Amino acid sequence: MSGGASRYRVQPGGSVGGELTVPGDKSISHRALMFGGLAQGVTRIHGFLAGEDCLSTARALADLGVRIEFPAPTEARIEGTGMAGLHAAPGVLDMGNAGTAIRLMMGLLAGAPFASTLIGDASLMRRPMERVAQPLRLMSARIETEDGRPPVRISPVPHLKAIQYALPVASAQVKSAILLAALNARGRTRVTEPAPSRDHTERMLAAFGVEVLKEGATIALEGGQALAAAEVEVPADFSSAAFFLVAGCLAAAQPLVLRNVGVNPTRTGLLEILQRMGADIRVRARPASGRAGGEPIADLEVRRSELRGITVPESLVPLAIDEFPVFFVAAACARGESVVRGAAELRVKESDRLAAMAAGLTTLGIENQLLPDGLWLRGAETFGGGTIDSRGDHRIAMAFAVAALRARAPLEILDVANVATSFPGFLELARGCGLRIEAA
Q: Which residues bind ligand S3P (CB under 6 A)?
A: 27, 100, 171-173, 176, 198, 321-322, 345
CB nearer to ligand S3P: give 65 or 128. Answer: 128
Whichever of 221 and 407 has its CB closer to ligand S3P, that residue is 221
| DSSP secondary structure, 36-76, as one string | HHHSEEEEEEES---SHHHHHHHHHHHHTT-EEEEEETTEE
Length of the chain in terms of residues written:
440
Distance in angstroms (rounded) separating the CA atoms of residues 426 and 244: 11
CB of 170 vs ligand S3P, minimal distance in Å: 7
Question: CB of 349: closest distance to ligand S3P in angstroms?
Answer: 6
Of 161 and 347, CB closest to ligand S3P: 347
Q: How far is the CB of 30 from ligand S3P (least distance, A)?
A: 6
Q: How far is the CB of 176 from ligand S3P (least distance, A)?
A: 6
CA distances from 230 to 83, 227, 253 (A): 15, 9, 42
The answer to whether the bond into 151 is cis (omega within 30° of 0) is yes
Q: What is the DSSP string of 251-270?
A: HEEEEEEEEEEE--TTTTHH
Local structure of 247: helix, strand or coil: helix
Torsions phi, psi for 8 (to 5 deg): -110, 145
3-state secondary structure of 402: helix
The 10 Å CB-count burial string (b at 16+, else e) for 234-246 is: bbbbbbbbbbbbb
What does residue 117 show for φ and ψ, rounded to 5 degrees? -130, 130
Identify which of residues 264 and 368 has a Cβ nearer to ligand S3P in the complex.
Answer: 264
Between 152 and 250, whose beta carbon lies closer to ligand S3P?
A: 152
- The distance of closest approach from Cβ of residue 397 to ligand S3P in the complex, given in angstroms and rounded to an integer, is 15
CB of 17 to ligand S3P, least distance (A): 29
In sequence order, the 6+-apart residues with CB closer than 8 A to the CB of 280 are 249, 302, 303, 304, 305
Name the residue nearer to ligand S3P (CB basis): 172 or 377. Answer: 172
Q: Are 227 and 210 a contacting pair, CB within 8 Å?
A: yes
Q: Is 57 exposed, middle or buried (0-12, 13-18, 19+ CB in 10 A)?
A: buried
Q: How many other C-beta atoms are found inside a 10 Å radius of the C-beta of residue 148?
A: 12
CB of 202 to ligand S3P, least distance (A): 11
- d(Cα 33, Cα 425) in Å, to the nearest integer? 21
- Taking the least distance from each CB to ligand S3P, the nearer of 181 and 366 is 181
Catalytic residues: 322
Nearest-approach distance from CB 198 to ligand S3P, in angstroms: 6
Q: Residue 41 and residue 63: Cα distance in Å, rounded? A: 19
Helices then strands, counting H and E runs in the chain, come out as: 13, 25
* Contact indicator for 149, 171 with CB cutoff of 8 Å: no
Indicate the residue among 106 and 257 with the shorter CB distance to ligand S3P.
106
